[in-house]
Structure 1
Amino acid sequence: MEPLELSLALLQPQVTVVATLGELLATLPGRDEMMRLFVSSKCPYWDLEEFTRVLRATIKHIDDTWWCRNVTFDDDDPVTSMSWAMAAYKSTSWTAWECAKTAAIVWQASLDVLMERWVELARKATKLRNAWWEVVSEAADMAITATSLASSLQEEVARYGTAQENKMELGQALGRQEGAEVVDTLEAQMRRQAKEAVSEATRTTRMRQWVEVALGLLERLVAVCDEATAFPWELQCMVGDIEATLEGTNEMSPDVPEDFVAKVAEAEWLWEANARLAKDHLLGTVDDIIKFYFDGAPASPTACGVAKRCLRAIEDIPRLLRPQECPQGVPKVSPLSVELQEVQWGSYKSFAFY
């Protein structure tokens, strides 16, 4: 798989998670209707709300890139990324490597948290899917019972409507007019009950259909949540290799290999592309979903609207993945400032991760 295709495959699943969630919530009725329908089973509304808010927190966590852009050796140096620093400082003191190692450690820790969040989302989606099987079973039983009752009542109405001899028999016993009135009253009552039963059968059948559709969407949600864990896992591997390289560098020969700079740059632009995807597209879409479906805001993010926004996000991924050009160089630090930094760093590293 080409690098761009691999990157697309890594970033796209989280967009699909948001799109599937929007479609699922648009399929389901509102909170009051759901709570009325599921009186005999646990209402899934609250679990869906919890899942959506955890999803938002996960996407929010993605937009946090300060550590990989805060590799600097002097207060007068511009804040820059690890790859830019490594490209500029082809041969430098151990201070540069210690700064880079610090950034890599913090980066890896954040990736660990992101991975845990996506795993937790996949777990919550699986829990929702499993609970929904009970909802589907209950809806099917309700539809069968209601349909059977409607058919039975319709058959009774048909018998009363065509049995004119009932009127004659009652007429002989109660008088012709009074007997006819009794039969007409019973027939009207049966027709009313049959009509109500047919309406209930139609409602429960429709409910069974949409809960089955919702189950299919939950199956998809479980799958794409699992797929979304591929991005933090892949980046964990890349940053782990970077950490290992930095740890294994000979301090007496601190030259920076070009292929190592390229590896660091690839990890950085992949992470930053994901952060821009979250900030530019996903976070706002999930916020709108929460406002409408859970906070009762009037603006409606319809399933079509959510799908369009997610499609635009997917179409924007190739642009987000374009890496920035690595600079030819950045201002060099003076030998004096390097010595000062080495002294400061020696004091700092003793308590930085206490």
Structure 2
Amino acid sequence: MEHQEVSPAQLLEALVSVVATLGEVAATVTGSHQGVQQCLSPDSLRAALRRFTQSLRETLDHGSVPSLGQALATLRATSWISWADVRAVAKAWQKLVAALRDRWDQLALEAAELCVACADAAPARARDLWYETARRGTAWHRLAATAQRPTVALDWEEVAWVGATCNVLEAAATDKEEVATSEEEVATSEEELAPSEEEAATNKAMGEAVVAASQARAATRRGHWAEVALVPLERLVDVCDRATMFIRNMDYCLWEIKIILNRTKKASPNVPVALVAKVAEAEQLWEAGSHLAKEHLLGIFELIDNLLLSPCGGPGGPGGPCNRTVDEWCQEAIKDIPRLLQGQ
């Protein structure tokens, strides 16, 4: 099994980086840039980010399983449990870690899909540059392997008054047609009708021009918004890829534990020292990650939700108070990692 050596502290810091970068994305899509108010950005991406936030929250709050270390200690001290009981606990760990590994892979894939969808909506110059320079990490390879466009589709909505303008113009045209019919019924000459038809045609052309102009303005705002959001979204993909190392490290530890258990005689009363050490390593990382989520990260998610729900001009924006608080809390979480790894 392929394994990358990374310290426990670095593995936990990678989890914090995902939350911090998600906060940056939320701040970007709720702020304003170069006079373009982000309240004109599509609500669909905010909704997608809120779903992503909830999935990340559930993944980080991974809960607990029966202690394998305690099972080994009980086996060594008493005859209350057997090696079969120890193996049952190890299998429970393996099942939980496998499920979390799939969830982390899905999170990284969803981040990549959001990034590609945003790149597709960006102006051509930004889109072409992005496709040329985008990093191809694990999540990108998984996205390419699907052999289809991303499943996350951003429903870029036009400005609401465009539709209203069309309705008003259609109603006006209908009224003019009714007037023309009424005049015809009172024996108005064909020469008198000609100006009304010409006027209706002119109004129709003007209406089409108004709609086209409004659509162009909406596309310009939308494209600028997508270009700005693309940068932090790409970083979100990268940090999600790196954060998967946490669960893959757990997976590797459990694989080593399984190998040692398979080599241990079922009737032997001796507990291998290597097994005890490897179990302690796995449980230390698992418990530290659980406390990191409960004591720090879950509270930060509430701030991010507030950002995604905030109106334009509210606490959003890359330099806004909510974003600064997210950064500060993430830094506090990183500083607390050594204590969490010591089990204090």
Cα deviation for residue 135 of structure 1 reads 2.5
Corresponding residue of 2:273: 258
Cα deviation for residue 269 of structure 1 reads 0.8
Cα deviation for residue 291 of structure 1 reads 4.3
CA contact (8 A) 2:303 2:326 kept: no
Cα RMSD (Å):
3.5
Size of the aligned set, in residue pairs, is 244
Corresponding residue of 1:177: none
Worse overlay, 204-213 or 99-108: 204-213
Whole-Å separation in 2 of the counterparts to 1:139 and 1:286: 34
Whole-Å separation in 1 of the counterparts to 2:126 and 2:73: 64
CA contact (8 A) 2:30 2:38 kept: yes
CA contact (8 A) 1:15 1:314 kept: yes
Name which one, 1 or 2, has greater alpha-carbon Rg: 1
Q: Does 1:248 align with 2:268?
A: no
Q: Does 1:66 align with 2:65?
A: yes
| Identity of matched residues, % | 39
CA contact (8 A) 2:46 2:308 kept: no
Cα deviation for residue 90 of structure 1 reads 3.0
The change in CA–CA distance for 1:247 and 1:4 in structure 2 (over 3 A counts) is closer
CA contact (8 A) 1:101 1:246 kept: yes
The change in CA–CA distance for 1:90 and 1:17 in structure 2 (over 3 A counts) is same
Cα deviation for residue 83 of structure 1 reads 1.9
Cα deviation for residue 259 of structure 1 reads 2.3
Whole-Å separation in 2 of the counterparts to 1:86 and 1:140: 57
Deviations 1:105-147 (A, max 9, x none): 1111111111111111101100100011123227979xxxxxx
Whole-Å separation in 1 of the counterparts to 2:100 and 2:267: 36
The change in CA–CA distance for 1:56 and 1:308 in structure 2 (over 3 A counts) is same
Higher RCO (Cα < 8 Å, 6 or more apart)? 2
Corresponding residue of 1:337: none
> SS at the partner of 1:256?
coil
Aligned counterpart for 1:103 among listed residues 65, 70, 89: 89
Corresponding residue of 1:46: 47
CA contact (8 A) 1:58 1:114 kept: yes
Corresponding residue of 2:288: 273
CA contact (8 A) 2:16 2:297 kept: yes
**TM-score for the superposition, normalised by structure 1:** 0.60
Q: Unmatched 5+ residue regions in structure 1?
A: 69-81, 142-196, 325-354
Corresponding residue of 2:328: 308
> SS at the partner of 2:30?
coil
Corresponding residue of 2:337: 317
Corresponding residue of 2:298: 283
Cα deviation for residue 44 of structure 1 reads 2.1
CA contact (8 A) 2:14 2:242 kept: yes
Worse overlay, 222-231 or 49-58: 49-58
CA contact (8 A) 2:30 2:39 kept: no
Q: Unmatched 5+ residue regions in structure 2?
A: 32-36, 128-212
The change in CA–CA distance for 1:43 and 1:91 in structure 2 (over 3 A counts) is closer
Give the counterpart letter for 1:318 in structure 2: P
> SS at the partner of 1:90?
helix
Cα deviation for residue 45 of structure 1 reads 2.4
Deviations 1:55-95 (A, max 9, x none): 122122x2x11322xxxxxxxxxxxxx32442464365593
Please give the residue correspondences for 1:138-149 in structure 2 after superposition, counting only pairs within 5 Å. none
Give the counterpart letter for 1:10 in structure 2: L
Cα deviation for residue 240 of structure 1 reads 2.2
Cα deviation for residue 256 of structure 1 reads 0.8
CA contact (8 A) 1:10 1:230 kept: yes
Corresponding residue of 2:114: 128
Whole-Å separation in 2 of the counterparts to 1:274 and 1:303: 23
Cα deviation for residue 36 of structure 1 reads 3.9
CA contact (8 A) 2:60 2:293 kept: yes
Corresponding residue of 2:100: 114
Whole-Å separation in 2 of the counterparts to 1:37 and 1:6: 40
